[in-house]
Amino acid sequence: MVFLWLETPKGNAYVSVAFVGDNLRHVEFVKKISINTPAEHNTHFVEKEKLQVQVQGNSMFAGWTKPIPLFPSSRVLPPSCIMFEGYGPLTTGVAEFRYPSGARFMAESNGYDAFVTFFHPASKYSGPGTDGRVHKDLVTTVYPK
């Protein structure tokens, strides 16, 4: 799932603008709960060979071969890779928010703060993007409206 910092009726916020997954049932579920967000019409199923996610220790690597449009802007996330490298102590957390559709999302997790590196092979770019999080244990619960 890709989020962009956008202006909303309630002020600026990170908004879900795209979702790509290799599990058709999950992709359809995300479409339903993403009503009234840009991701509602920008949720895509891709074959397993076009999206790879690997976790080893405190690190997660993801790579994709299909361009991901970032609605509502004209930008596209090109075929690329991203690496999350966990560091520091294991911490716990709970996050909760509501989708504009009314669905309530709750996440309970154990994980690490992470350094994030974005790799774009075609332009030979490799650079830090932002800080992130690597979850070791993650339980998400979605309560549809």
Residues 49-90: tens digit of each pLDDT: 999 999 999 999 999 999 999 887 788 889 999 899 998 999
pLDDT of 127 reads 57
pLDDT of 99 reads 84
| Average pLDDT of the residues of the chain | 88
pLDDT of 60 reads 92
pTM (2 decimals)?
0.78
Predicted confidence (pLDDT) at residue 3 exceeds the cutoff of 70:
yes
The two tokens of residue 59 are 């690190």
The arithmetic mean of pLDDT across residues 45-49, rounded, is 93
Cα(91)–Cα(133) distance, rounded to whole angstroms?
Answer: 10
DSSP the chain: -EEEEEEETTEEEEEEEEEEES-HHHHHHHHHHTTTSGGGG-EEE--GGGEEEEEETTEEEEEESS-EE-TTSS-EE-SEEEEEEEEEEEEEEEEEEE-TTS-EEEEEEEEEEEEEEEEEGGGTEEEEEEEEEEEEEEEEEEE--
High-pLDDT (> 70) share of the chain, %: 95
pLDDT of 61 reads 94
The arithmetic mean of pLDDT across residues 85-98, rounded, is 92
